[in-house]
Amino acid sequence: MERRESAMQESLSIGRDDVENRTVIGLMSGTSLDGIDAAVLRTDGDTVVETGPSASFPYSRAVKTFVRRAIKAALEGRNAAQDIADATRAVTEAHVDAVRKLMADNGLEAAEVDLVGFHGQTIYHRSPRAGDGPGQTWQIGDAASLARGTGITVVADFRSADIAAGGEGAPFAPIYHAALARDLASREGIAGPIAALNLGGVANVTFVPIDGGLDGLVAFDCGPGNGLLDEWMDAKTGAAMDRDGKAARAGTVHEDIVRLMLKAPYIRRPAPKSLDRYDFKIGPVAGLSMMDGAATLSAFTAACVAASVDHLPQPPEVWVACGGGRRNPALMDELSARLPGRVMRAEDAGWRGDDIEAECFAYLAVRSVRKLPLSFPKTTGVPHAMCGGRTFLANA
């Protein structure tokens, strides 16, 4: 386990502070299948009071294999497949182990933790605006078993209510991004809007108007994040990623291919909108060398983010890059070259870049039990601000 924080530290605050704060463990396992991020947050679901211990727990090869088989089954419509049941069990056990290890390594008892915010592992996501039927989002993981295994009440199933109301079911981080962005604006005197850019398997952007309320939040998936590049590197070298952007930096960007890929209907579709990690393919770069392919896919990811500006109320003054993609210097260079405004890494903004999504689901867990909205018309396309999540008691 990589230990990142040894004690609760003062962080930031926005909004009210007259509601009981809760100590929550947030859990996130993304579509890159790296593993589980876990982070402790103390919050009332409005004010972020303290950040606490955090760690990453890589998935074992066996768990990754189970999940990949489950994804294949879901994509093929085999919803009752044993592969999905096997993956659900494996993912749940991995999350139980992660929570126990985080607590043991930091001297936390179950009685000291009020909630666990459990995202689960996405194996399928289909936008209701994709044109081929109603929306669907599927995160595997047995929240009831997680509650029993950890002895802590679990909040999960954050996305279903949004999908049922006609929303995209994603992204769900904007409300937490807003808390972080407004604190950044206050500290650094930023007057214009801030964009939080998450570079995971899929790239998504949150537009935060500094002088407006939550109704002004705009968010959507803007294109592939690390997903295409990771797939390319795995196919060509067996590596999980283009570490430090070395392959891309040694290659040449084929701008004609970038322009071709930008013709995908999704890029022009108005926001809000959401993607599955597998909606874009590496086929257009198949004839390139390994290094040119890496360079071109990195440029395409950045070009998709640049194209997202057309769907924002105005160009952001600052872009804050979060997620694993912020560690890729080649991708960061492409973003700086193609985006209006200043581009910075999460750490430069005072954010814990590895922990933001885990912190987010801790934050959302408290909002859920307080019946506060998690998604908004301009973030997921729901008709009105929506609550969500389901609570699973530890002693049930």
Domain boundaries along the sequence of the chain = 9-168+354-392, 174-349
φ, ψ of residue 243 in degrees (nearest 5): -60, 130
CA distance 40 to 113: 9
69 is written with which tokens?
Answer: 């088989």
Q: Which ranges in the chain belong to alpha helices (H)?
A: 61-75, 82-105, 143-150, 160-164, 174-188, 227-237, 246-250, 255-261, 265-268, 290-308, 329-338, 356-369, 377-380
pTM of the model: 0.84
CA distance 365 to 354: 19
Whether residue 196 contacts residue 180, with contact meaning beta carbons closer than 8 Å, is answered with yes
Closest CA to 366 of 10, 3, 8, 16: 16
Whether residue 74 contacts residue 126, with contact meaning beta carbons closer than 8 Å, is answered with no
Residue 220 CB partners (closer than 8 Å, separation 6+): 168, 171, 204, 205, 271, 272, 273, 274, 308, 311, 379
42 is written with which tokens?
Answer: 């103390």
Task: Label residue 323 left, alpha or beta by phi (over 0 means left) and psi (-120 to 50 means alpha).
Answer: left
CA distance 71 to 55: 26
Tell me which fold the domain 174-349 belongs to.
Answer: Nucleotidyltransferase; domain 5 (3.30.420)
Q: Give me the CATH code for the 9-168+354-392 domain, please.
A: 3.30.420.40
Which pLDDT tens digit goes with each residue over 333-391? Answer: 999 999 999 999 999 999 998 899 999 999 999 999 999 999 999 999 999 999 999 99
Angle, to 10 degrees, between the axis of helix 227-237 and the axis of helix 290-308? 170
Residue 222 β-bridge partners: none
CA distance 354 to 351: 9
Residue 25 β-bridge partners: 40, 116
Our separate counts of H helices and E strands in the chain read 13, 13
> For the purposes of burial, counting CB atoms within 10 Å of the CB of 387, is it exposed (0-12), middle (13-18) or buried (19 or more)?
middle
Whether residue 315 contacts residue 288, with contact meaning beta carbons closer than 8 Å, is answered with no
| Residue 317 pLDDT | 97
What's the Cα-to-Cα distance from 143 to each of 6, 119, 154, 380, rounded to whole Å?
27, 9, 6, 24
141 is written with which tokens?
Answer: 């993981």
| Residue 165 pLDDT | 92
With tokens 């997620």, the residue in question is 323
The segments of the chain whose pLDDT lies below 70 read: 1-19, 129-133
| Residue 132 pLDDT | 59
Question: In CATH terms, are 9-168+354-392 and 174-349 the same topology?
Answer: yes
